Each structure stands twice: as structure tokens, then as C-alpha cells.
């Protein structure tokens, strides 16, 4: 059903820009929220890298997750909303509410505005963070959409923010959503082609590997999925009747160890992968580093855990077919090279 007007929140972000590209390619008209007018040029620049010159098919609205201002205008006339915007910092925030409040209250602002404007369906970008944490992973058992992160256990501020925001969204729909429909996409680590210097925490991990900034690798695992496939899943969840009231894990294959990721990139990127280390650090050393570095501190609790998940539900209900993990990772590395985002060799 092409030509419908779709709002994408956070179009200046890595995934938001890929969602806009997917919508434009499908023939939709798109309105993107940005926090200020100066971000409009950033969105257009990323879309150009992605091969799109949207012209009149793209418009902008100014709105922020922390304020009610602008949201009624942003959703006006839209049939669908992809609520992609959410904070994802590279390190630990000074206070967990710096993440939790904008994530939860921002989601509720978007849902209220969408309901009041007669939007048909909102697709919320949640995360595997709302699915598979605060509980002990079991080898051979994959997390599914039936699982929820247990917030009674110690989890990071980011994990808590994503879990509380998604819980709040489902509660809103149940209690006061009216005719508004909700579907949720829960991606693991999102990789794939970078569209500009303002990319994501996941893709910045690949940059750090390729720039030789990591002296060694922690003994842990990541889920991998390509941003293009996450965007495709958003579109499928947006229009497919089977997606109403459902959540969908976005993952390609099994989780990978950081060592497997490093070896894949080193083998496939030629000279560009020369700085990538394949040295695995002992857990005790990662824990010591975690005392001083915020980003390392967040991963200490994941060392050695055999976590896994499955995207079978999205494949079965929505016909979703993601690229391979290797293709997603290599596309990340190649785009970093092509855009000149790596340090130059000395």
C-alpha cells in the first residue's frame, strides 16, 4: 500500500535513516522528526549516501522526546508511525533516569499523539535489551519474544530504559490506546552500512576494532543483524495484519563471540582489517578495566555467558529473511572505509 504518509521519529539516527530509505524505496511519503532544523541537512546527507534524493517525498517536523511540543503536528495526517528514536549512549550515564525518562516518556508522548491523530499503527523500536537480561542464560536455549528482562536483577541503565519503555507502551495500548495498534521490533546489535559519521554504538565497536583501539577482546557474545533488515522488519510490522499486538526479535542466525566477529572482519576486509586484534583478554583483566571505563563496566556481567536468541517468529509470521551475520559485519567495515571514518595508517 504505497503512498501513505509515515512518521519516522529520530530520522537523524543510524536506524532511523535506514527506515526512511526503506520507506522511500517502497513508495511511501515520509515525515521525520528531528530535534532542531540543523539536523535536517544531516538526514539528507545520510539519505544521499544511501542512494536517495527524496525531494517532496520527505518532510520534517521538530519534536523532542522530553517535551510535548511539536508531536501533534508531527503525527498529523500520518497513517503509520515508526517510533525509532531513543537514547543509546556509548558509556554509563551519570544517572539512570537520563536514559529511562526520555525513553519511557518519549514513547508515551508518541503513542498519545498517534492515538489522538487517528494513526492506525505504531511500530516501536525496542531492543533485545528488553528480552534477555536479568536472568541466567541456558546453553542451547534461545530467548524468544515470550521472554522479558527481569528488572529485579542488576542490569544496566540502557537495559532498564528499553524494558520500561516497552512495558509502558504495551500498558498504554491496553488501558487507553483506543483503536491504535502497536507492534514492537526487538533488535540485537545493529550493524550494516554506515551512512555518515554519526553512527551507532554497535557500528562504533567495529570502528574501534578496525582502528586498533582495542588491545584485546572480552570473552562474550553479541547478536548481529543488518540495519537494512531491521528497517525491512519495521515495514512488515507496519502493514501486516499478523503483526498487530506482537513483538518481533530481529536477529540473523546465532549470537557470535567477539572473537568470531573479529576473525570474520579480519578475513574479509583485507588491508582494512590489518589492525584488528584476535587476542582474547582474560576475564579478570576485563573486570579491572571495567572499574575505570564506563563502557567496559557495562559488559563485565556478560563475560562468558552463552546467550542466544531466535528470529523465527518474524520469519514465520511476516516472511522476513535477513542477510547473514557475516554480510552485515562486512558491510559495516566496508562503509567505514568508503566514508573515510577510520584513522589513517601511520
Half-sphere exposure of 279 (CA within 13 A, CB side): 11
Of 94, 160, 162, 313, which is the active-site residue? 162
Contact indicator for 173, 110 with CB cutoff of 8 Å: no
Q: Give the pairing type, strands 5-9 and 80-83.
A: parallel
The DSSP secondary-structure symbol of 309 reads B
What are the residue boundaries of the structural domains of the chain, listed by start?
5-195+225-253
Half-sphere exposure of 271 (CA within 13 A, CB side): 3
Beta bridge partners of 325: none
Grid coordinates representing 336? 567505514
Does the pLDDT value for residue 301 go beyond 80?
A: no
Contact indicator for 306, 139 with CB cutoff of 8 Å: yes
- Kindly state the helix (H) or strand (E) to which residue 31 belongs, with its residue range: strand 29-34
Residue-level pLDDT at 152: 95
| DSSP letters for 235-267 | HHHHH-GGGTT-EEEE--SS-EEHHHHHHHHHH
Tens digits of per-residue pLDDT, 78-89? 999 999 998 655
Could you give the CA distance from residue 239 to residue 235 in angstroms, rounded to a whole number? 7
Tens digits of per-residue pLDDT, 18-33? 999 999 999 999 999 9
Could you give the CA distance from residue 6 to residue 119 in angstroms, rounded to a whole number? 10
Does the pLDDT value for residue 292 go beyond 50?
A: no
Residue-level pLDDT at 177: 98
Residue-level pLDDT at 1: 42
Q: What does CATH list as the number for 5-195+225-253?
A: 3.40.50.720
Mean pLDDT of 175-183: 98
Contact indicator for 177, 144 with CB cutoff of 8 Å: no
The predicted model scores a pTM of: 0.95
Report helix, strand or coil for 222.
strand
Could you give the CA distance from residue 343 to residue 346 in angstroms, rounded to a whole number? 9
With b for 16 or more beta-carbon neighbours within 10 A and e for fewer, the 58-77 pattern comes to: bebbebbbeeeebbeebbbe
Mean pLDDT of 86-105: 78
Beta bridge partners of 247: 184
Could you give the CA distance from residue 243 to residue 182 in angstroms, rounded to a whole number? 8
Grid coordinates representing 247? 513483538
Residue-level pLDDT at 95: 82
Residue 48 appears among annotated catalytic residues:
no
Tens digits of per-residue pLDDT, 182-199? 999 999 999 999 999 988
Report helix, strand or coil for 29.
strand
What is the CA 178 to chain-centroid distance, rounded? 28
Does the pLDDT value for residue 145 go beyond 70?
A: yes
Helix 325-338 and helix 258-268: axis angle, to 10°? 60
CA angle at 99 for the pair 97 and 101, rounded to the nearest 5°: 60
Mean pLDDT of 241-247: 98
Q: What is the mean pLDDT of the chain?
A: 92
Amino acid at each position: 500500500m504505497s503512498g501513505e504518509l509515515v512518521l519516522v521519529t529520530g530520522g537523524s539516527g543510524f536506524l532511523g535513516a535506514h527506515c526512511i530509505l526503506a520507506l522511500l524505496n517502497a513508495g511511501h511519503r515520509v515525515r521525520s522528526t528531528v530535534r532542531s532544523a540543523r539536523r535536517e541537512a544531516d538526514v539528507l546527507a545520510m539519505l544521499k549516501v544511501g542512494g536517495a534524493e527524496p525531494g517532496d517525498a520527505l518532510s520534517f517536523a521538530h519534536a523532542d522526546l522530553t517535551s510535548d511540543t511539536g508531536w501533534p503536528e508531527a503525527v498529523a495526517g500520518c497513517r503509520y508511525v515508526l517510533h525509532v528514536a531513543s537514547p543509546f549512549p556509548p558509556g554509563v550515564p551519570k544517572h539512570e533516569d537520563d536514559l529511562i525518562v526520555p525513553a519511557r516518556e518519549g514513547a508515551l508522548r508518541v503513542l498519545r499523539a498517534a492515538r489522538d491523530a487517528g494513526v492506525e499503527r505504531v511500530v516501536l523500536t525496542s531492543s533485545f535489551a528488553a528480552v534477555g537480561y536479568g536472568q541466567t542464560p541456558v546453553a542451547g536455549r534461545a530467548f524468544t519474544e515470550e521472554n522479558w528482562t527481569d528488572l529485579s536483577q542488576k542490569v544496566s541503565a540502557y537495559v532498564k530504559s528499553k524494558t520500561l519503555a516497552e512495558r509502558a507502551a504495551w500498558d498504554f495500548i491496553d488501558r487507553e490506546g483506543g483503536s491504535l495498534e502497536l507492534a514492537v521490533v526487538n533488535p540485537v546489535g545493529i550493524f550494516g552500512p554506515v551512512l555518515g559519521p554519526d553512527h551507532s554504538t554497535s557500528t562504533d565497536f567495529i570502528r574501534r576494532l578496525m582502528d586498533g583501539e582495542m588491545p584485546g577482546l572480552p570473552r562474550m557474545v553479541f547478536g548481529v543483524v543488518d540495519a537494512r533488515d531491521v528497517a525491512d522488519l519495521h515495514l512488515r510490522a507496519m502493514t501486516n495484519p499478523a503483526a498487530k499486538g506482537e513483538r518481533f526479535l530481529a536477529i540473523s542466525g546465532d549470537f557470535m563471540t567477539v572473537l568470531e566477529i573479529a576473525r570474520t572482519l579480519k578475513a574479509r576486509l583485507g588491508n582494512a582489517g590489518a589492525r584488528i586484534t584476535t587476542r582474547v583478554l582474560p576475564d579478570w583483566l576485563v573486570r579491572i578495566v571495567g572499574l575505570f571505563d564506563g563502557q567496559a563496566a557495562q559488559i563485565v556481567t556478560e563475560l562468558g555467558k552463552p546467550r542466544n536468541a531466535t528470529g523465527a517468529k518474524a520469519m514465520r509470521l511476516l516472511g522476513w529473511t535477513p542477510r547473514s551475520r557475516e554480510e552485515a559485519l562486512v558491510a559495516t567495515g566496508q562503509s567505514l572505509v568508503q566514508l573515510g571514518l577510520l584513522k589513517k595508517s601511520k
